[in-house]
Amino acid sequence: MRAAGRVARVWRRAGDPRPGQERDRGQVAVEFVGMLPLILLTLALLWQCVLIGYTYTLAGNAADEAARAAAVDDDCAAAARRDLEGAWASRAAISCGGPSGGMVHVTVRLPVPVLFPGSASFPWTVDGEAGAVWEGKR
């Protein structure tokens, strides 16, 4: 009985696996390779959520800038495009409403890109709307 105990201790000291553990070698690598697609998909979905939020921010800011410009009879569309970046500026739809009831209203529509700005877009758009008190010539 004592000899079997000494043999088991020798195996552990030498770093050899205990009986029955030989089959577990490489298991972590196999599990990682199996999970890698799920990890990458999760990262891509998180990045897409960031892009959607950023598109909302850009549309709102561009609409605010355009409304300020329209309030003083400046070029509304140019002010909105100055506030947008390359891929978003080229695909933006800007609607500048004239003074109505002492207010100007602006709508900026931006397509939501799929993973990278300038690539394909989702079939829906993000609308940013703003208004400002008209201060132009009467």
Q: Is residue 135 part of a domain?
A: yes
Q: Is residue 3 part of a domain?
A: no
Is 113's pLDDT higher than 90?
no
Q: Is residue 41 part of a domain?
A: no
Q: Is residue 108 part of a domain?
A: yes
Its domain, for residue 80, covers 62-138
Measure the CA dihedral 119/107/60/52, to 10°.
-30
Q: Is residue 103 part of a domain?
A: yes
pLDDT in tens, 48-95: 999 989 889 999 989 988 888 888 888 888 888 888 887 777 788 888
85 φ/ψ angles, rounded to the nearest 5 degrees: -95, 165
pLDDT score at 27:
74
Q: Is residue 94 part of a domain?
A: yes
Q: Is residue 40 part of a domain?
A: no
pLDDT in tens, 2-46: 555 555 555 555 555 566 666 666 777 777 788 888 999 999 999
Are the C-beta atoms of residues 126 and 92 closer than 8 Å to each other? no
Number of residues written out for the chain: 138
pLDDT score at 99:
73
